[in-house]
Structure 1
Amino acid sequence: MSTTTAQVPTGAPTPATGGGLLGLIRRRPILSFIVLANLMSWLAWIPYILSNHGLGIWDFTYPAGGLGGQLLGVLPGAYLGPIGSALFITAVTEGRAGVKAWAKRLWKWRVNWRWYAGILLGVPLAMIVGGYVFAEGPAYLPTAAVLVALVPGLILQMITTGLAEEPGWRDFLLPRVIRRHGPWKAAVGVGAVWAVWHFPLYLTEWGQGDVPWFRPVTLLAFCIALNVVMTWVFNRTGQSLPMAMLLHVSINNFASTAWEQMFPELTYDRAQFSLFAVSAIGAVIVLLATRGRLGYEPEKIGADDG
């Protein structure tokens, strides 16, 4: 018995992907996310870069000085980039059901209490040890006011930095790259992309003045090392996005509150070296302990989310 097979013209879009830009996004969601996340953020940061907070080409200063620059100049681009791109590409590739599943993962708080304790206590402890090693002066105990400020600062960081970045880098991009390239390669690759996303900000006050060549290189190394640890935490908690957010913002929060007061002579660059060194030690430990798997157990994660 003979059968007839329908022929699809070469180059015609398939029903599953379609043609045009949306078809390209469906066929290449990883590349599309990387390009869109960077492009959207970088475009949104142009006014901040050109303002008096950056190159000074545009004679404009955001209200409230440096804080206003962060909230009004940097944060909108952060929201448009990682989380905005993740939402858009999820909608294009997976539809309404995919968006609902993606949004549901934002609230995966139910993990073993040891993870909360490990992050909330382990991050400051590691940073204090790093500060002792790299600071060129004495250390001081933080004041009661600083300790009280840690909690509201952490909450603010969760809804700004954490919410803006982590749904994109860790929840959208990381699992997809892991499935394609494996855990440790994904951790390195996503960490590098995450670092490069920050690079235009070195043209602003965010970069702490004149930028020596090693400063962005240190950030690149730090982001890669930290992302190895974050990938392990993300996988071991059943890919809990809130735990990734908590780890990320705990570093930012402690650095911007207690760390500076405890180590007043810890310069910006030495602080960055410290963060890299501590993260690198953690990365080596989890890589060796997990033999490069970084806690990745696909059978425990559930259905493939694309």
Structure 2
Amino acid sequence: MSKNTKRIVMFLAVTFGLMYLSHGLIALLLETTAMELEDFPLNILGIIGGGSPAFAALFMVYKMYSEEERKNYWNRAYLYKAHWFWWMVALLSPLVIGLGANLIYHGGWWNPDIQWSHIAAFPLTFGAMIFAGGAEELGWRGILQNSISKKVHPVVTGILIGIIWAIWHGPLFLIDVFAHYNYAFSTYFLFAIVYSLLLTLLVYKTRSILLAVLMHAGINAFGNLGFGIPMEVHEGVLVFLALLFIGFASALHFAEKSNIPVNCRPGDRGRSAIKVNMHSPKE
């Protein structure tokens, strides 16, 4: 087994182990005691499970990475220098996608019942979601995408991570105190793959784990604001997600095929572009 394969296996083992063990304990304690989900012990277990991709990433970076690899990882985790277009994708695409899905679901404009207090609190909600969701990308993009993309095409990478991401959420669909319990898994499964492809494209083009963290936080924050994709079996929403799948997969395919340098503005060529392209995600 190669070093890269060992890293993939170790990451998945720690990530799934923490998630399924912690939420298995949550289910057991809810069933056998008077505890509720808001109680401190269950909160801690929820944090352990929900943060397992980040915890697995930190474990691997400090136990399995060389000093140079560790430095490169943290450089990417804090990398904020990217073309404005990719910042727009990271910060606004969850809102645009959620808006489109809801317009289709409701058959036109609808009232998401947003109050001024919700808007005022949005920055705080977004900040909280960096830790309650966004930090997962330290693992999904920082570790798993970086490792899988060395073996397969970026489109396959995005699809595989999306499938893994959806299955990792499995316990939330089995415990009735979580919102996922009422979700249609088929819709959620396609949702996870679609967003995984977009996140994969974002990181492929920018190398920035930071932007992936912010985009993931945006998915959760805008969802809380009323712009989440409706998690029901709805023909129009499923078609919408299927079209996004085709669009994002095609964009990722042509990005890889053209191998356009990351962070390259239109018209930029020459030495600077070549220098940037030397640090492609396939390293």
* Identity percentage of aligned residues: 18
The partner residue of 2:209 within 237, 241, 249 is: 241
RMSD across aligned positions (CA): 3.3
Evaluate the alpha carbon distance shift between residue 210 and residue 115 of structure 1 in structure 2; reply closer, same or farther with a 3 A threshold: closer
* Structure 1 residue 284 displacement after superposition: 1.4
Q: Which residue pairs with 1:49 in the alignment?
A: 27
What is the match of residue 132 of structure 2?
160
Which of 105, 108, 122 is the equivalent residue of 2:76?
105
CA positional deviation for 1:41: 2.0
Does residue 1:190 correspond to 2:161, yes or no?
yes
Q: Which residue of 1 aligns with 2:279?
A: 302
Tell whether 2:205 aligns with 1:227: no
Aligned letter for 2:19?
S
Q: Pick from 191, 195, 216 the counterpart of residue 185 of structure 2.
A: 216
Question: How do 1:170-185 and structure 2 match up within 5 A?
Answer: 170-185=141-156
- Establish whether residue 269 from structure 1 lines up as the match of residue 269 from structure 2: no
CA contact (8 A) 2:122 2:221 kept: yes
Cα distance change of structure 1 residues 128 and 71 upon mapping to structure 2, 3 Å threshold: farther
Deviation, 1:286, is 3.1
In the alignment, the residues of structure 2 paired with residue 95 and residue 291 of structure 1 have an alpha-carbon distance, to the nearest angstrom, of 31
CA contact 2:104–2:236 (8 Å) conserved in 1? no
Aligned CA distance change for structure 1 residues 277 and 49 (closer, same or farther; 3 Å): farther
Match of 1:119 in 2: 90
Structure 2 residue aligned with 1:77: 49
Q: Deviations over 1:37-59 (max 9, x none)?
A: 1012221223322233xxx2333
8 Å contact kept, 1:236–1:296: no
User: Post-superposition shift, 1:305?
Assistant: 8.9
Give, in angstroms, the shift of residue 33 of structure 1. Answer: 1.3
* CA displacement at 1:109 relative to structure 2: 1.6
The 1:228–1:107 alpha-carbon spacing in structure 2 relative to 1, beyond 3 Å, is: same
5 Å-filtered alignment, 1:55-70, equals: 56-63=31-38
> What displacement does 1:244 show?
0.9
Alignment match of 1:145 (pick from 112, 117, 122)? 117
Distance (whole Å) between structure 2 residues aligned to residue 115 and residue 197 of structure 1: 27
Change (3 A) 1:138 1:236: closer
The residue identity in structure 2 corresponding to 1:218 is T
Distance 2:251 2:27 in 1: 42
C-alpha distance in 2 between matches for 1:105 and 1:272:
39
- Give the counterpart letter for 1:57 in structure 2: T
Using the TM superposition, give the Cα deviation of residue 174 of structure 1 relative to its aligned residue in structure 2, in angstroms: 0.5
1:288 to 211, 230, 250: 250
Q: Deviations over 1:99-139 (max 9, x none)?
A: 33323322112222232233333321221121011137961
Q: Given the superposition, is the C-alpha separation of residues 182 and 217 from structure 1 closer, same or farther in structure 2, using an over 3 Å criterion?
A: same
State the 1:82 CA deviation.
1.0
Unaligned runs of 5+ in 1: 1-22, 261-265
Between the aligned partners of 1:271 and 1:109, the Cα distance in structure 2 is 37
Cα gap change, 1:245/1:280 in structure 2, threshold over 3 Å: closer, same or farther?
farther
Task: Name the CA distance, whole Å, in 2 between partners of 1:250 and 1:70.
Answer: 25
Residue 149 of structure 1 contacts residue 257 of structure 1 at CA under 8 Å; is this kept in 2? no
Instruction: Give the TM-score of the pair, scaled to structure 1.
Output: 0.74
Q: 1:191 to 1:243 in 2, by over 3 A?
A: same
8 A contact 1:85–1:168 mirrored in 2: yes
TM-score norm. by structure 2 comes to 0.79
The equivalences for 1:26-37 within 5 A come to 28-37=6-15
What secondary structure does 1:269 align onto?
A: coil
Q: Deviations over 1:1-35 (max 9, x none)?
A: xxxxxxxxxxxxxxxxxxxxxx9977621122112
Greater radius of gyration (CA): 1
2:174 counterpart residue number: 203
Change (3 A) 1:119 1:91: closer
Higher mean displacement: 295-304 or 28-37: 295-304
Amino acid at match of 1:203: L
- Count of residue correspondences: 266
Quick one: which of 54, 58, 72 aligns to 1:87? 58
